[in-house]
């Protein structure tokens, strides 16, 4: 379990990293927190000619609130999100999801940008990005490009980032007052990639659902955003019947595969069940005053 030979670069700045990437492009792999890449290297499942290690690039590690948006530098460790108390108000769905990623040791090293760029359809952060309809900023030789969440994930472990670009920032919209949220998942063990996970948020406005977002992990090549469900929720009253119908739409919309951990049938069932549970919990939170005033629950 020893990696094959590679050249190693440790740039100190984003500009330097982009320059290296421009030089090596397809031959290079970017090392962020290393939680996925290092095992792949050690098992010789990938053999890049060049490794560009971003861990010394300070200008990619930040967390800040801009106008209506939470902006996260791609090299921000997951633990830093977990410990940023202000995010409980600005982006509680992210906070709930980040606690479900692996274990503390993994979150200490794992980065937000790494998880987004790796694009594992079972991972939590891509689903949060997708459900919230956020965006990803990428940097290349040609400058900055912003890619909407809906266009970012192409298929398994594949994104719209070009070989000479790297993910520099994740942008998540701040939900309006009266919003509720929930991340539900079923994992075999605490800390595992979930078999299926559901990221959900909805906003209540005078007894009716306003904005709503739903993204499902583990049921396709990317986090699956279910537009038909969201459309059904918008403008409806937050009743059990509506949530059941929305979860039924989820089951219709997805086409999961069977794998080692679960059959397609079970995944489809879980997607429906967890959608229901997530919507119930999100609605309860929204009803209690929403994101602005509620502390994170279960």
CB 188 → another protein: shortest distance, Å? Answer: 5
Q: Are 123 and 215 in contact (CB under 8 A)?
A: no
Among 66, 67, 206, 260, binds another protein (CB under 8 A): 260
What's the CA gap between 275 and 214, in Å, rounded? Answer: 8
- Contacts with another protein in 265-284 (CB under 8 A)? 265-266, 269-270, 273, 276-277, 279-280
Half-sphere exposure of 2 (CA within 13 A, CB side): 1
* 43 binds another protein per the rule CB under 8 A: yes
Helix residue ranges, H only, the chain? 14-24, 37-42, 78-83, 87-90, 92-98, 104-109, 112-118, 124-132, 149-152, 227-233, 240-253, 264-287
* 49 binds another protein per the rule CB under 8 A: no
- Report the candidate in 13, 46, 26 with the shortest Cα–Cα distance to residue 168: 13
* 247 binds another protein per the rule CB under 8 A: yes
Per-residue binding string, another protein, 207-246, x by CB under 8 A, is ---------------------------------x--xx--
177 versus 259: smaller Cβ distance to another protein? 259
CB 52 → another protein: shortest distance, Å? Answer: 21
- Report the candidate in 129, 151, 138 with the shortest Cα–Cα distance to residue 69: 129
What's the CA gap between 200 and 214, in Å, rounded? Answer: 5
Residues near another protein (CB under 8 A) are 1-2, 4-5, 39, 43-44, 186, 188-193, 195, 240, 243-244, 247, 260-263, 265-266, 269-270, 273, 276-277, 279-280
């Amino acid at each position: 379990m020893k990696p094959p030979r590679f050249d190693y670069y440790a740039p100190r700045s984003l500009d330097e990293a982009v320059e290296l990437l421009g030089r090596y492009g397809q031959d290079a792999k970017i090392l962020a927190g290393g939680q996925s890449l290092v095992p792949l290297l050690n098992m010789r499942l990938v053999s890049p000619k060049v490794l560009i290690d971003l861990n010394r690039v300070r200008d990619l590690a930040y967390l800040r609130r801009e106008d209506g948006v939470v902006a996260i530098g791609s090299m921000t460790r997951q633990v830093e999100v977990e410990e940023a108390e202000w995010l409980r108000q600005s982006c509680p769905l992210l906070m709930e999801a980040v606690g479900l990623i692996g274990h503390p040791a993994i979150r200490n090293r794992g980065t937000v940008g790494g998880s987004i760029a790796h694009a594992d359809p079972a991972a939590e952060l891509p689903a949060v990005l997708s459900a919230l309809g956020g965006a990803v900023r990428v940097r290349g030789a040609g400058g900055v490009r912003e890619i909407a969440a809906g266009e970012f994930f192409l298929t398994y472990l594949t994104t719209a980032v070009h070989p000479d670009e790297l993910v520099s920032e994740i942008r998540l919209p701040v939900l309006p007052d009266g919003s509720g949220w929930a991340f539900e998942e079923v994992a075999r063990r605490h800390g595992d990639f979930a078999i299926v996970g559901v990221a959900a948020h909805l906003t209540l406005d005078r007894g009716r659902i306003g904005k709503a977002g739903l993204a499902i992990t583990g049921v396709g090549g990317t986090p699956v955003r279910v537009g038909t469900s969201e459309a059904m929720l918008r403008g409806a009253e937050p009743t059990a019947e509506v949530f059941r119908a929305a979860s039924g739409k989820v089951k219709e919309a997805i086409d999961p595969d069977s794998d080692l951990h679960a059959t397609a049938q079970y995944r489809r069932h879980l997607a429906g069940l967890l959608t229901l549970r997530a919507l119930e919990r999100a609605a309860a939170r929204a009803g209690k005053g929403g994101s602005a005033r509620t502390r994170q629950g279960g």
